[in-house]
Amino acid sequence: MSFQQIVSFLLALLTFISGKVTSVTGSTDAKPIIAMQREYRFDRDALLLGAYCLRVDEHFEETREWFKEAGLQFPVAVSGNALNEEDLDWFLENDMGIIAPRSDYYLNMRHEAIWGVDLRDEPSAAEFPALQEQVQALYAQDQNRFPLINLFPMYAGTQQLGEECDVPLARDYFRIDPFNGNSIRYRMHLSDYIGTIDSDIISADIYPLYIDNETGKLSTYGHWLRNLDILAEACRASGRDLWVITQAAGNAKEEGGGMHYCDDPKDQRWQNYVSLAFGAKAIIYGCYYTGWWDQSSHMIDNSGKRTATYYAVQQVNREMSAFADIYGKYEIQGTALYNRQNPDCVGAELDISKAAQKHQPITLTRDPVLCGCFTEKAGRGRAYVFTNMYEPETGKEALFSAAFPGAKRITVYRMGEKTVIDGSTLTLTLENREGVFVTVEWMPCLGC
């Protein structure tokens, strides 16, 4: 690679990082498509809880009731028999909706229970222009029904992301990986997406929990936080909502390692609060009834019975319902990871964003703690999501203290319980894989 080629590459990279999102397929002056924030058939100002894969079979009347009892609001993708008008009426009457499979049957229906269409899962960048045409066609048909396009996580390879179709000059250079090429490649994939597709949502699935079946040792995907941070960055750049598909099942193998079965509430709680710390507006559990994991690990097993995973999700959803309506009143500003040098810290590569530096409240912590910083959309209040970031294998607690000068009241939502503290200082010890949602009210601003 010539000196001029290297300079051109670095200029393009700096342009992206500085906030001028660079399209891989266009010029360095390309701008992201800003979300229109359309009116949909669900409340975009509240935290949404959904699940992938609802099977319509002989157990359906029972499993759909359990879907509601679990605190879920919508399924993504329906397998088996098609939902009829009466089935859709049931969802509507129970204040729920569905994101329907992409088929003429559902596309031609105008039922209010159909919130959106599951348009495409994990497309390559080469597919984005064609997907944009489908998005436009869907919106032309119904502005209140949205297209769900779920993107790859960061551990996808170059061939999956499709960058080899976009920049022949930089393609081989990324493989050298001098500047964390995996991160750069993924940023450019997201840049292509927000520069090509007119949508209000960025969705991705990230499955971070692993297990060595021979030793029973738990481990965590090292780029989990970086992946969420890049997604959050793309959302802020384009005014979109972040939806995260979490791991609610596993595919452990007889020998060696696999994906950890997530049938402990701690696993669900941790993934949810980490996602919220990056501003996620929707949590979608994978999977409910059928899907891509070992069937026995789903929320509903192959015989139509509830599993331990179901009850873990149900418990955590009940806890999060305590602040689901309040969460949407705040807007994410940035995310900070404290004590990332700790050898047992998850996501140690995550930098503290400049936006988070303006809002970070922690004054003392000896432990790794993730902090999502939010400001009130209409008011002076702030909110925070604090999460213990010790590896699960350690079982360690995390102690932190946070100061909010000028605050008059701090409200802590912890495992479904609400605690109000009069004052401006918060000290908590978080259990392993525990997170909390905190709101802060300030003294009246005289002369404002």
For residue 352, what pLDDT is reported?
Answer: 61
For residue 364, what pLDDT is reported?
Answer: 79
Do 398 and 262 share a structural domain? Answer: no
Mean pLDDT of all residues in 331-345: 92
How confident is the prediction for the chain on average, in pLDDT? 87
Do 181 and 74 share a structural domain? Answer: yes
- What is the number of domains present in the chain? 2
For residue 172, what pLDDT is reported?
Answer: 33
* Residue 2, domain member (yes or no): no
Tokens of 350: 């995550």
Tell me the pLDDT tens digit for each residue of 289-334.
999 999 999 999 999 999 999 999 999 999 999 999 999 999 999 9
Do 310 and 238 share a structural domain? Answer: yes
Contacts of 303 (CB under 8 A, 6+ apart): none
From CA 133, how far away is CA 197, in angstroms rounded?
Answer: 9
Tell me the pLDDT tens digit for each residue of 397-432.
999 999 999 899 999 999 999 999 999 999 999 999
Q: Beta-carbon neighbour count of residue 417 at 10 Å?
A: 9
Do 241 and 178 share a structural domain? Answer: yes
For residue 214, what pLDDT is reported?
Answer: 83
Tell me the pLDDT tens digit for each residue of 175-194.
333 345 567 788 888 889 99
Mean pLDDT of all residues in 242-252: 94
Do 345 and 316 share a structural domain? Answer: no
CATH of the domain at 335: 2.60.40
Question: Per-residue confidence at 107, pLDDT binned at 50, 70, 90?
Answer: very high
For residue 75, what pLDDT is reported?
Answer: 98
Mean pLDDT of all residues in 37-49: 93
Do 303 and 173 share a structural domain? Answer: yes
Domain limits for position 366? 330-442
Question: Per-residue confidence at 445, pLDDT binned at 50, 70, 90?
Answer: low
Do 309 and 420 share a structural domain? Answer: no
| DSSP string over 237-281 | HHT-EEEEEEE------SSSEEEPP--SHHHHHHHHHHHHHTTEE
Nearest Cα residue to 313 out of 274, 351, 269 = 269
Mean pLDDT of all residues in 276-294: 96
Q: Which of 130-134, 252-256, 359-363, 369-373 is the least confident region?
A: 252-256
pTM of the predicted model as reported, rounded to 2 decimal places: 0.89
For residue 30, what pLDDT is reported?
Answer: 63
Do 368 and 315 share a structural domain? Answer: no
Whether 41 has a pLDDT exceeding 60, the answer reads: yes
Mean pLDDT of all residues in 263-269: 97
CA atoms within 13 A on the CB side of 267: 28
Do 232 and 212 share a structural domain? Answer: yes
From CA 301, how far away is CA 305, in angstroms rounded?
Answer: 5
